[in-house]
Amino acid sequence: GENVEQHPSTLSVQEGDSAVIKCTYSDSASNYFPWYKQELGKGPQLIIDIRSNVGEKKDQRIAVTLNKTAKHFSLHITETQPEDSAVYFCAAVSGSARQLTFGSGTQLTVLP
Amino acid sequence: SAVISQKPSRDICQRGTSLTIQCQVDSQVTMMFWYRQQPGQSLTLIATANQGSEATYESGFVIDKFPISRPNLTFSTLTVSNMSPEDSSIYLCSHHRGDTEAFFGQGTRLTVV
């Protein structure tokens, strides 16, 4: 089955700086890669996603890149703000099972 | 996306008892999913629930421990049976828009004492 690894597990940045979180996946059949933000006491919220036919996608301060050859994808947050502080999860969906396999999560702290 | 309401939001239970978690979606959805998130950990899929059929459980999860009901296309329940402290986790339900985009309820934080 699919295996998703996520790094780093914790990340602290100064407000206004950029944050990058990286994930790798094992199943070459995976074709959908979402990113979730989970705030304390809440369920995960989809913030951006990318499909395997696209190399990069942007939504305001958030961008995701995908390298299918290397089987890795990354989340980029620019101009970070304190409200970006949360746990971020990457995930992958394989073509056959259509199930989400999550990474281990990254606790992002934006320091004011 | 359909809005998911999950309850209770949290509970503290005695070991050996059972807790039923309810998940209500405000529109009809084909598949609903139940996840467990242990403290400080990632999400692990427990089972997939389709209306009118038995849930499909992932490796390591069994129906006797986590019975699931799916009586209609907007509602599902997960029961955590004969609880022990190791069952202390956040339990989340979700549904998919299309075949990929997943949306989650707010979760049920369970503490077993």
Tell me what pLDDT residue B5 has.
94
Asked if A9 has any chain B CB less than 8 Å from its own CB, the reply is no
**Preferred mutation among B34, B35, B100 to probe A, highest tally of A CBs within 10 A:** B100
pLDDT digits (tens, 9 = 90+) for A46-56: 999 999 888 99
The answer to whether A44 touches A37, Cβ cutoff 8 Å, is: yes
Question: Cα distance from A81 to chain B (closest Cα, Å)?
Answer: 23
The answer to whether A91 touches A47, Cβ cutoff 8 Å, is: no
Interface contact A103-B42, CB threshold 8 A = yes
| CA–CA distance, B92 with B107 (Å, rounded to integer) | 4
What percent of chain A stands above pLDDT 70?
Answer: 97
pLDDT digits (tens, 9 = 90+) for B27-39: 898 889 999 999 8
Interface contact A43-B109, CB threshold 8 A = no
pLDDT digits (tens, 9 = 90+) for A81-111: 999 999 999 999 876 557 889 999 999 999 9
Provide the 10 A C-beta neighbour count for residue A11.
17
Provide the 10 A C-beta neighbour count for residue A8.
12
> Which positions in chain B touch A89 (Cβ < 8 Å)?
42-43
Taking residues B87-108, report their average pLDDT: 89
Single out the residue of A77, A81, A87, A83 nearest to residue A108, CA to CA: A87
The answer to whether B49 touches B31, Cβ cutoff 8 Å, is: yes
Tell me what pLDDT residue A45 has.
94
What is the radius of gyration, based on Cα positions, of chain B? 13
Q: Check whether B2 has a pLDDT greater than 70.
A: no
> Which positions in chain A touch B47 (Cβ < 8 Å)?
none
**pLDDT band, residue B71 (cuts 50/70/90):** very high
Taking residues A20-47, report their average pLDDT: 94
What percent of chain B stands above pLDDT 90?
Answer: 79
Interface contact B42-A44, CB threshold 8 A = no
Give every CB contact of residue A50 below 8 A, 6+ residues apart in sequence. A32, A33, A56, A57, A64, A65, A66, A73
Interface contact A42-B99, CB threshold 8 A = no
The answer to whether A76 touches A18, Cβ cutoff 8 Å, is: yes
| CA–CA distance, B45 with B60 (Å, rounded to integer) | 10
Interface contact B100-A45, CB threshold 8 A = no
Tell me what pLDDT residue B50 has.
87
What would the two tokens of residue B113 be? 């004492």
Taking residues B73-79, report their average pLDDT: 96
Chain mean pLDDT for chain A: 93
Interface contact A46-B109, CB threshold 8 A = no
Taking residues A29-55, report their average pLDDT: 92
Provide the 10 A C-beta neighbour count for residue B62.
12
CA max distance for chain B? 40
Taking residues A19-34, report their average pLDDT: 94
